[in-house]
Amino acid sequence: MTVLAKKESTIHTKQAESKPKNLTDFIILIALTVLIGGALFLYFKVSLAQSLLYVLGGIGGFVLYQARFGFTSAWRKFILYRQGEGIRAQMIMMLAANVLFLPLLLKGSMFGHPVSGYVFPVGISVLVGAFLFGIGMQIGDGCASGTLYHIGGGDTNGIVTLVGFIAGSVIATTHFDFWLNTPHFEPISLIENFGVGFGFLIQFAMLAFVYYISIVIEKRRYGKLISTNLNNPHGWKAIWKGPWPLVLGGIILAVVNALILMVQGKPWGITSAFALWGAKFVQLFGAQPEEWAYWQDPGKLAALQNPLYQDVTTVMDISIMFGALLAAAFAGRYAKAIQWKRPTRMTVGALIGGVLMGYGARLSFGCNIGAYFDGIASFSMHGWLWFAAAFVGSIIGVKLRPYCSYKN
């Protein structure tokens, strides 16, 4: 090889190495601009609380990505391989949230506004909705929070899932009143129905039971507990580059949820925004969703009539995606994650999965965050029913994944 050829080869190599770095720096700049700019916009245009919630959403997206805190994958690992590390991390997260939520719920107010958890009726709508959601989260390859942080992390399949999620949410709102009138029990709060001390003990016992069962089943399969090898080459830089331990991610998410409860007076929500986006979209074609039973609630009707930036859930969903985008860029994984070409069956599966989740979330008063996480964190029995029904649905969904070209 001539000297000139060697120089040209060296130049091309340096250019190839600089492109990913330049792209990463550009993505970091975009993510930070949107997160900081959005927070400032909401502070001046809406309120300090709206701005803080936007920031908390961004932190949530960052944590979800760096800890790879997936509800869908955790359940799938247990169903297929009897590995319960993810489920145990969820139980620890719930317990941390219970400890943080309890004094706030007992106080009943914070910063001059009322504070209350998500405690909803226990009945057919939760059972059916969560079951459908469980199927959808497996063939859609992500739950509600997972879909958002997957999109932020560069997973193009999540965009298809989100489209289905929005469509399913709109469909569910058209006959929401039917499901509300199905058989159900009145809301059951463990701390209100059984007292603070005994109610907390019941909650702790149920969390411990799930934790213990996962250990027993996993040890029966492997003779020991299987832990994820983080393979962290970054040292202390893992603070922003990741990956983070699941338990750490779960505890931080519990803190984030408690802060959201303090700021807005209710816990973290995700999927109500999808119904709102869909309703505003169909309005463009002459539909009148304001006449549907779902939108007769004054708060929901106000959200439908106001600009999207005034909707708390909308701004938090956006910041979740950009928080995950920032995390993916810091980790150097964003460009590698993007794959535009996907099997047709995977696209169809993602769309159907999104529809099932969107429909199911509206029936069951929320998703893996709004119903499962928030419900159990609020000491509501509907959260436990959601967990059980969605897990059964996930068993079916896992069986369907190979037909959607997913590898389990």
Model confidence at 9: pLDDT above 60: no
The mean pLDDT of 126-136, rounded to a whole number, is: 98
Would you state the structure tokens that stand for residue 373, as one six-digit string?
């996480």
Is a pLDDT exceeding 80 seen at residue 20?
no
What confidence score (pLDDT) does residue 201 get?
Answer: 98
Rounded mean pLDDT, 186-201: 97
Length of the chain: 408
For residue range 302-330, what is the model confidence (pLDDT) as tens digits?
999 999 999 999 999 999 999 999 999 99
Judged by phi (left if over 0) then psi (alpha if -120 to 50, else beta), residue 48 lies in: alpha
pLDDT tens digits for range 274-284: 999 999 999 99
Beta bridge partners of 366: none
Mean pLDDT of the chain: 91
Is the pLDDT at 335 greater than 70, yes or no?
no
- Name the DSSP letter for residue 271: T
pLDDT digits (tens, 9 = 90+) for 40-62: 999 999 999 999 999 999 999 99
Side-chain-side CA neighbours of residue 288 (13 Å): 1
Banded model confidence at residue 295, pLDDT cuts 50, 70, 90:
very high
Angle at 348 between CA 345 and CA 352, to 5 degrees: 135
Q: Show me where the domains of the chain are located.
A: 23-404
Give pLDDT, residue 2: 52
For residues 389 and 334, the model is more confident at: 389
Residue 339 pLDDT greater than 70, yes or no: no
Predicted confidence band of residue 13 (pLDDT cuts 50, 70, 90): very low
Taking the C-alpha atoms of residue 342 and residue 337, their distance in angstroms, rounded to an integer, is: 12
Is 50 exceeded by the pLDDT of residue 4? Answer: no
CA distance 39 to 291: 33
Q: Could you read off the pLDDT of 363-384 as tens digits, one per residue?
A: 999 999 999 999 999 999 999 9
Average pLDDT for 9-34: 69
Tell me what pLDDT residue 19 has.
52
Predicted local distance difference test score (pLDDT) of residue 41: 98
